[in-house]
Structure 1
Amino acid sequence: MTAHGEQVIAQNARLVEVDTSSGINAMLNRTPLRPGPLAAPPAGSGLRPVPGDRGLPFIGLGIHTVLYGPAFQIQLLRRHGPVSWWQAFGRRIVAAAGPDAVQDVLLNKDKAFASGWPDVIGPWFDGGLLAMNAPAHLTDRRLMQAAYSDEALSGYVRRMVEDADAAMARWPVGQPFKAVPAIRKLSGQITTRAFLAVPYDEDGRWVMDAVEACIRGETALIRRSLPGTAWRRAHRARGRLAAYLTEALPAARARAGGDFLSVLCGVEGQDGARFTDRQLVDHMLFTLLAAHDTTTSATVATLYFLGKHPEWQQRARAESLAGAPLDMDALDRLHVLDLVIKESIRLVSPSPIAMRVTVKDTDILGHFVPAGHLVSVCTGVNQLLPELWPQPARFDPERFSPQRAEDRVHRLAWAPFGAGAHKCIGMQFGMMKVKATLDNLLRRFEWTFPAGYEAPWRFTSLPAPADGLPIVLRPRREGAHDPGSV
């Protein structure tokens, strides 16, 4: 292995290992684990108890969860095996990690697992696919498929490309700025017209501000509608968004497609079924929240790794510059960028867990789990296991090449969009949005990070660097990375 490769592994080690070196990390490492079983299995069942850790009173190991994300889940896996539990802020949560445990839960053979997201993040996704269960989930998912057809996606992509180009032309050059808030704002700027046919002016900014308020409500510590709390602001924002979308439905029905809401209004099942106004509003709310947050996280991760690996940035830029003006087909042909995005969201998954709740007593790989327990399905852990990925901390986009296809060693080795019945319906849409953003960046700018810089990833909601990812963009040198020079 080269010295450069060794440096890369050291830099990414905190994605797979809990930091115990100094400060709060060293203090947290001394937290008493207080191990014990989750619950006694029924007599004669032949099932085993789930092992786990209580940690501190009430807080448990909740801070570890927020700070370390998948690295903490890997630590649980190594300590207790593929099925374990830990306490976090007064609640016991079961962890299913490793391909077999994840598959056992997501297959849901005895229908013991329902969506656990409403219990974790609150009511912001109510009525959306993520919070629904069978059979309503399957019915609505089938009906929504038309809004994600290639023809529909082509219309959304065209608008996103235009808006990304206009917004990025105003980004600062040659001076430090923080990439995370800039990309969050950019996501809003390319969302409102593609989703609602609303330019990012006064109305568009208002919509995305309300979306951001709902997202902040997901991680609110005080979950009471008290004055001044994020929870209350989120409830009010959701109510205003619902009213706004309800008023927008007649105009959306009158449009000839091109934006997500208009297409969704027009979808019709084979039996003539259509969404009611309430269903349209609920699905639109969910789509706005989910698409904004996850694509921001994926874009940030890929921007970071492209800056850490100039050789891959150069390859991706050459491919972009060789292409025609972007449309759906052109984005599909960006194979190098596709490899880089896939590897980036393997290392830093936008959605590293799927949440389920047991609706009846059941078992996971022979471990007894009583009804009423949250289950964290650790798909992000699978993406970082040496049993599945050689040198898992190493940034290596060629893993996803047809020749190596490491993502196919197990059907759940790589699942950043989830799996099973709740696999993200908008994964292709999301990838197109991320590609459109990064392609524009590559065409306009060059960027690197200092050799010793390692993004301090935190997992309070979706993964993002705690320092906002400081960056300096430089204008692309004409001809320096043209296809003929690579």
Structure 2
Amino acid sequence: MTESTSTQEARERSPRSPDSLPLPPGSLGLPVIGETINFLIDPDFSSKQQAKYGPIFKTRIFGGVTVFIVGAEANQFLFTNENKYFVATWPYSTRKLLGSASLATQTGSLHAARRKLLAQAFQPRALASYIPTIEQITASYLDKWQQAGSLTWYPELRNYTFDIASALLVGTENGSQTPLGKLFKDWCDGLFTIPLPLPWTKFGRALRCRRLLLNYIEQIVLQRQQAQDFGNDALGILLQARDEEGNSLSLEELKDQILLLLFAGHETLTSAIASFCLLLAQHPEVMAKARNEQQQLQKLQRSPSLTLDDLKSMTYLDRVLKEVLRLIPPVGGGFREAIESCEFNGYQIPKGWTILYQINQAHKLEELYPECEKFDPDRFDSDRAADKQKLFGYVPFGGGLRECLGKEFARLEMKIFATMLLRSCDWELLPDQDLSMVTVPTPHPKDLLRVSFRQL
């Protein structure tokens, strides 16, 4: 009876039914921990596994079986099947530290509704209002670095981006010098770690920092509410925001959303800006061409302050920044969970497994980016348009329903920083430093980018 039933089921099963297909190749490594340690410490982990198994392979990281997929078709499959086959997920350490009310951990209709609310902080009118603050903070830091003469730049860039994020998001001046800034680094360092909640582990320290950060953010929120002066920064916009039912964000949700915005507007931007500084120092011909464009545009600029129209006219700088984000994307990939078994590239992806799409590997496919390791901004000129040749072949901000909400804010800050830096300063890499990339939590040079710095 059982054999007959199973035979009948086998006949009725579609030949393309996911459970009739093989699982992706790969090794799961050690029990529970799998290959997590290799994944965290080896920046070439994915490329080595891909060379061994192909563009789809499985492993075990952060306690769960994870399928790695790479390529424009893989990205399209994932992004276009959001909420059908996949929902966003994160490693446990990341979910716990971001919080259950964070936009990053929300899914489905709740995510869509909250994303619509938060998007108000990144509309063109809001972005334009941020320009003077970004210019002021940038000018202050450039003057400080010129006076220093030589410096270890990466920690300074972290302070710079955090000062901007804290000023524009929660109205706190010199945020890097407040308790908020001092706690933030330890919190970030625990986001992608083995989740052992012991006081001496990165995760344990990050949990403590999360509690203290939320307390600090809560005091800022309560002060705004009591003063009935919401302000014009992102927090002010969120305090006044209402969903379609007229509901405002709760205090607990506000805290998680602000924490996420501070992270997104700081950690990843630091990585992107540092990569810009590194790559231009390594390619003086690109620096010279970018500086020449700025000198020409500066003569035509009508106002002492930059405008959105001024920034749009910087076509070569656009190409440079696109190539920076291609070669060293601040986010290496993204996680999804399979909510239904499905098939991709001839392999079964079972329900409950995690999928990791890989931005950094997609950006180094030779068929899309010839001489992919070469820093070549002209691959994004109007004739070649490398970012337009294949859907989801260029995804520095992700894609689909969960594309980075703050991508225009990131572009704005990067462009203003690059403009003011190129117009007034010169920098060179100091010798005898390790410029290999540490990739967790975001890519940065191992020796933290030591430079000599001077006024033009």
**What TM-score do you get using the length of structure 2 for normalisation?**
0.86
What is the aligned counterpart of 1:258 among 211, 214, 232? 232
* Post-superposition offset of 1:184: 0.9
Per-residue CA shift, 1:314-361, capped at 9, x if unaligned? 222233343343243333333222211110110001112011122343
Query: 1:439-454, aligned counterparts within 5 Å?
Result: 439-449=419-429
C-alpha distance in 2, partners of 1:270/1:90?
Answer: 39
Report the counterpart of residue 329 of structure 1 in structure 2. 309
C-alpha distance in 1, partners of 2:78/2:195?
Answer: 30
Query: 1:324-473, aligned counterparts within 5 Å?
Result: 324=301, 325-449=305-429, 455-473=435-453
| Structure 1 residue matching 2:285: 3-state secondary structure | helix
What is the aligned counterpart of 1:52 among 23, 26, 30? 26
Report the counterpart of residue 8 of structure 1 in structure 2. none
* Post-superposition offset of 1:405: 0.7
* Post-superposition offset of 1:120: 5.1
Instruction: Tell which deviates more after alignment, 394-403 or 435-444.
Output: 435-444
* Post-superposition offset of 1:49: 1.7
Counterpart amino acid of 1:393?
A: E
What is the aligned counterpart of 2:184 among 207, 211, 229? 211
What is the aligned counterpart of 2:74 among 79, 101, 121? 101
* Post-superposition offset of 1:88: 4.1
C-alpha distance in 2, partners of 1:417/1:307?
Answer: 25
C-alpha distance in 2, partners of 1:44/1:84?
Answer: 16
Correspondence 1:240 to 2:220: no
Q: How many residues align?
A: 433
Counterpart amino acid of 2:71?
A: G
Instruction: Tell which deviates more after alignment, 144-153 or 268-277.
Output: 268-277
Change (3 A) 1:410 1:376: same
Report the counterpart of residue 22 of structure 1 in structure 2. none
Report the counterpart of residue 132 of structure 1 in structure 2. 106
Correspondence 1:228 to 2:228: no
Report the counterpart of residue 180 of structure 1 in structure 2. 154
Structure 2: which 5+ runs fail to align?
1-14
Change (3 A) 1:43 1:288: closer
Report the counterpart of residue 51 of structure 2 in structure 1. 78
* Post-superposition offset of 1:154: 1.6
C-alpha distance in 1, partners of 2:334/2:221?
Answer: 32
Structure 1: which 5+ runs fail to align?
1-40, 477-486
Displaced runs of 4+ in structure 1, greater than 6 A?
A: 41-44, 56-59, 450-454
Report the counterpart of residue 9 of structure 2 in structure 1. none
Report the counterpart of residue 167 of structure 1 in structure 2. 141
C-alpha distance in 2, partners of 1:239/1:451?
Answer: 41
C-alpha distance in 2, partners of 1:462/1:68?
Answer: 13
Report the counterpart of residue 303 of structure 1 in structure 2. 277
| Structure 2 residue matching 1:164: 3-state secondary structure | helix
Report the counterpart of residue 319 of structure 1 in structure 2. 293
C-alpha distance in 2, partners of 1:453/1:244?
Answer: 37
Per-residue CA shift, 1:392-451, capped at 9, x if unaligned? 111111111222111111111110100111110100001111222222222232123479
| Structure 2 residue matching 1:406: 3-state secondary structure | coil
What is the aligned counterpart of 1:116 among 80, 84, 89? 89
Contact 1:177–1:471 (Cα < 8 Å) also in 2: yes
Contact 1:447–1:474 (Cα < 8 Å) also in 2: yes
* Post-superposition offset of 1:97: 0.8
* Post-superposition offset of 1:286: 0.7
Instruction: Tell which deviates more after alignment, 52-61 or 324-333.
Output: 52-61
| Structure 1 residue matching 2:26: 3-state secondary structure | strand
Report the counterpart of residue 455 of structure 2 in structure 1. 475
| Structure 2 residue matching 1:65: 3-state secondary structure | helix
Percent identity, aligned pairs only?
26
* Post-superposition offset of 1:74: 3.2
| Structure 1 residue matching 2:87: 3-state secondary structure | strand
Instruction: Tell which deviates more after alignment, 117-126 or 466-475.
Output: 117-126
Report the counterpart of residue 92 of structure 1 in structure 2. 65
| Structure 2 residue matching 1:375: 3-state secondary structure | strand
Instruction: Tell which deviates more after alignment, 54-63 or 383-392.
Output: 54-63
C-alpha distance in 2, partners of 1:404/1:451?
Answer: 35
Contact 2:338–2:353 (Cα < 8 Å) also in 1: yes
Query: 1:38-49, aligned counterparts within 5 Å?
Result: 45-49=19-23
Change (3 A) 1:128 1:339: same
Contact 2:18–2:349 (Cα < 8 Å) also in 1: no
| Structure 2 residue matching 1:409: 3-state secondary structure | coil
Counterpart amino acid of 1:410?
A: K
